[in-house]
Copies of this chain bind each other. A is one copy, B any other.
Amino acid sequence: MATTNIKEVAQRARVSVGTVSNVLNRPEIVSPATRERVFDAIRELGFVRNEVARHLRVGRSRTVGLIVLDVANPFFADVAQGADSLADEHDTMVVLCNSAADPARELRHLYQLEQQRVMGILITPVDAGNPRLAELAARGTPVVLVDSAATGLQCSVAVDDRLGGHIAGSHLIERGHRKILFVGGPQSIKQVADRHAGFTSAVTEAGDTEPGGGVDPGGGMGPGGGVELVAWFMPALSVANGRSAGERVAALPSGERPTAAFCANDLLALGFLQAMAARGLRVPDDMAIVGYDDIDFAAAATVPLSSVRQPRELLGRTAIDLLLEEVAEPELHRHRQVIFQPDLVVRQSSDLHRSPH
């Protein structure tokens, strides 16, 4: 380890360590001649400042942790990109961590980041009610919830998932579907629960205006005159789980089979779509599909996918913005909950103009 330190630089430039530090941090207070000598020494020795020591002394870090549910999901990649771009403008580094929706991994990352004394943590929590998050904040590490609304104890940026679910539901009902499947992930994930709730509410409203319509919003596949709803909660929001949900649906007798599916994210939807193709069901004729997130691949799918769009990069940027605001004035800071509106991008996968059956 041939790491040069500030002391060697000082020796070489024939000044004190204090002066080298000044050159590094407030060059304007050092005389030009000295400053040049120090710069020369830095260059000759290949000196790179030890940020660890600096951090220990000043107590303030220049890195932010971002913990997401799934790095392999392009949605989060875009959120991360948004966060990174704004952080960069503030000379701050974002370290991206993957909880893979596993509470134990999430906890480990939280602990590691706290040990590192990062400036703050942006997190899409596995479980938004996790008391550890509040404890973290209390111990001095600000936390911003991303894609998940907070309850006042911390800042958050989110997209209205209930509204998104509602939009998707209304769209499918409007297109004439009367038996609709919701494909979700673990209900403990708030996004899943909210999208499902919004979706259900759309169905309920439709049932109210439906003449003689009996609605079954809860799940289960009972008979009923109005809109029938089934909900399946898969163990993860992945392509593979979407595929297995699709296969399960395709195996149903065509009379019992829903005519449309709303998937809680695009990965599920893409897997679901693959299963349809594999089982010879036509999309949207036999099965309409709406996804969520509108990742770039949604438009490039076997059948271009309708999807609820969220402002992905803006989510990331706003989260960093809230964090920087909190760090800049911890006293004055009032926690804020920012909520964006999603919108639906209709593509071929749900765009059947005639009513099915």
Contacts and interface: CB of A to CB of B under 8 A. Distances in A.
Interface string A50-82: 111101100101010000000110100110110
A31 interface: no
Contacts of A53: 56
A308 to B, nearest CB: 18
A56 B59 contact: no
A296 interface: yes
Q: Find the residue from A2, A297, A299, A302 having the highest chain B CB count within 10 A.
A: A297
B271 A51 contact: no
A25 interface: no
Nearest to A51: B115
Interface stretch (A132-140, A196-204, A207-215): A132-140
A194 interface: no
Integer count of this chain's copies in the complex:
2
B115 A50 contact: yes
Instruction: Report the contact-size class of chain A (Cβ under 8 Å from the partner).
Output: 35 or more
A244 interface: no
Contacts of A50: 56, 115, 117
Interface in A294-329: 296-297, 299-304
Nearest to A296: B239
A138 B274 CA distance: 50
Contacts of A48: 111, 114-115, 139
A6 to B, nearest CB: 13
Contacts of A139: 2-3, 46, 48
Contacts of A337: none
A1 interface: yes
Contacts of A16: none
B74 A1 contact: no
Interface stretch (A93-101, A163-171, A223-231): A93-101
A299 B273 CA distance: 11
28 contacts: A1-B59, A2-B140, A3-B117, A3-B139, A3-B140, A48-B114, A50-B117, A52-B52, A52-B56, A52-B117, A53-B56, A71-B81, A72-B74, A72-B77, A72-B78, A72-B81, A80-B98, A93-B95, A93-B97, A93-B109, A93-B112, A95-B96, A239-B300, A270-B300, A273-B300, A274-B300, A300-B301, A302-B303
Interface of A: 1-3, 46, 48-53, 55-56, 59, 61, 63, 71-72, 74, 77-78, 80-81, 84, 88, 93, 95-98, 105, 108-109, 111-112, 114-117, 135, 138-140, 239, 270-271, 273-274, 296-297, 299-304
- Report, nearest first, the 3 A-B pairs whose CB atoms are least far apart: A51-B115, A95-B95, A72-B77
Given A3-B117, A81-B98, A300-B302, 9 more contacts: A2-B139, A49-B115, A71-B71, A71-B81, A72-B77, A88-B108, A93-B112, A274-B299, A301-B302
